[in-house]
Amino acid sequence: MSSCVSILGSTGSIGRQSLEVIAACGMRVAALTANSSVQKLEEQARQFHPELAVMMDEEAAADLRVRLADTDIRVAGGMEGLLEAAVIPSADTVITAVVGMVGLRPTLAAIREGKRIGLANKETLVCAGTLVLEEAKDYGAEIIPVDSEHSALFQCLQGNRDRGEVKRLILTCSGGPFYGKKAAELKGMTREDALRHPNWSMGAKITVDSATLMNKGLEVIEAMHLYHMPPEKISVVVHRESIIHSLVEYCDNAMIAQLGAPDMRLPIQYALTFPKRVPGPATELDLWNCGPLTFGNPDLETFRCLDLALQAARTGGTAGAILNGANEAAVAQFLAGKIGFLDIAEQVARAMEQVPVRFNPGLKDVLEADRAAREAVG
């Protein structure tokens, strides 16, 4: 069970909910980091008294230093600061809640210090899953998923000693805000339409990924790495209600599912308290009034991003890094109003065609694949 936690990306959706769990469970905070939200980070620092507070943006770091001058909290800036927060000796656990591939270096740094990683930052595993898990094995660092589907799988796999007994992993997918629509209707969808998720309130990037279903594709790749399963043993089922968070099907055809209210504080807490369970702030599921649970097939033709991610999963090597880099760049352009909703898949497909895949990649190859994919998006 964690006692002192460093949160990378503490001002975001996962970061803020992590602090709620930490407060409720009486854990301490070693470091907090954010990109540029100075005021939010100042408030959090005054409430949780970390040793270190980091702003990725150097100007914001200078501002925070002035704001926290009356405290003994040290302030740092940039990637150096983020890395410092990742390896801070007083933390036994690091929650990686930054968005995007920027989380890769700090995650590796924390692993090399043998910290428990509460992993929310899925882009890291999509880009460099093999590297990250090999390092975690070498340094004896536990990686516990925070993503609700992967936490569900982790919970359903407790007690399983022989992975050969697992027939497949089944990831549930809400279908997102555009469920049931066809390409013609999706064409004019705006930023505001895409940011209206039916079941979850999350950061902008992952909310757009949920609308394109890229999020589910990234999660298939994340699951492949976390549970050492080939892509053909991972299925996606559309489950609109987000009550079943994922399932494991065993070789005797038993299916074990994890259910809960759609509330990220439960998987966050389990990543911190594993193997223990303690009472916490997560909402109780009212099974008697939650209505019927439904299941269906994802529409891969309309939601091309999921199909592209499944292709990348089958290809392996740097295909995940190419997919992710292109998607990060395309989603940023969509959020900035520069491209349309359907262009996201178009751009990712183009990058996947243009950028050559390398196999058994090292960190350099991953970074180069990411750079080339972003460049292909333009």
Pairing, β 244-250 against β 166-173 = antiparallel
Q: Which span sits near ligand NAD by CB under 6 A: 12-20, 180-188, 229-237, 330-338?
A: 12-20
* Shortest reach from residue 86's CB to ligand NAD, in Å: 11
Nearer to ligand NAD by Cβ, of 156 and 264: the residue is: 264
CB of 151 to Mg ion, least distance (A): 9
Minimal CA–CA distance to 46: which of 24, 75, 25? 75
In this structure, the strands spanning 244-250 and 255-259 are: antiparallel
Burial (0-12, 13-18, 19+ Cβ within 10 Å), 322: buried
Q: For residue 164, give both structure tokens.
A: 């050969």
CB-based contact 217:140 (threshold 8 Å): no
Q: Which of 78, 203, 262, 281 binds ligand NAD (CB under 6 A)?
A: 203
Cα 177 from Cα 207, distance rounded (Å):
9
Q: What share of the chain is helix, strand, coil (3-state, %, to 5)?
A: 50, 15, 35
* Exposure string for 21-37, b = 16+ CB within 10 A, e = fewer: bbeebebbbbbbbbbeb
Residue 93 binding: pick among Mg ion, ligand NAD, none (C-beta 5-8 Å cut-off by kind): none
User: Taking the complex as a whole, how short is the minimal distance between the CB of residue 222 and Mg ion, in angstroms?
Assistant: 9
35 touches ligand NAD by CB under 6 A? yes
| Lookup: tokens for 341 | 């909703």
Task: Please list every residue from 258 through 297 that binds ligand NAD, using CB under 6 A.
Answer: 264
Site string for ligand NAD, 93-122 (x = CB under 6 A): ----xxx--x-----------------xxx
Q: Which does 307 bind (CB under 5 to 8 A by kind): ligand NAD, Mg ion, none?
A: none
Taking CB under 6 A as the binding criterion, the range among 29-37, 60-68, 292-300, 328-336 that sits at the site for ligand NAD is 29-37
Residue 14 contact partner, candidates Mg ion, ligand NAD, none, CB within 5 to 8 A by sort of partner: ligand NAD
Instruction: Quote the tokens at residue 300.
Output: 């891969």
Closest CA to 126 of 154, 101, 94: 101
- Binding window for ligand NAD (CB under 6 A); candidates: 3-11, 304-312, 324-332, 336-344: 3-11
Site of tokens 């409720």: 24
Binding mask 313-332 for ligand NAD (x = CB under 6 A): --------------------
Residue of minimal Cβ distance to Mg ion: 147
Distance (Å, rounded) from C-alpha 35 to C-alpha 19?
A: 17
Query: Does 147 sit near Mg ion (CB under 5 A)?
Result: yes
Q: Which of residues 209-238 bind ligand NAD (CB under 6 A)?
A: none
Total number of residues that touch ligand NAD (CB under 6 A): 25
Which of residues 1 and 204 has its CB atom nearest to Mg ion in the complex? 204
Cα 299–chain centre separation: 23
263 binds Mg ion (CB under 5 A): no
Q: By CB under 6 A, tell whether 11 contacts ligand NAD.
A: yes
User: Which C-beta is closer to Mg ion: that of 135 or that of 209?
Assistant: 209
Select from 127, 107, 124 the least CA-distant residue to 116. 107
63 binds Mg ion (CB under 5 A): no
| Residue 147 interacting with ligand NAD (CB under 6 A) | yes
Our CB check for ligand NAD shows the closer of 99 and 213 to be 99
Distance of CA 368 to the CA centre of its chain: 22
Positions of E strands within the chain: 4-8, 28-34, 52-55, 74-77, 93-96, 116-119, 143-145, 166-173, 234-238, 244-250, 255-259
Give the binding site for Mg ion (CB under 5 A).
147-149
Give the binding site for ligand NAD (CB under 6 A).
9-15, 34-35, 37, 56, 97-99, 102, 120-123, 147, 200, 202-203, 206, 264
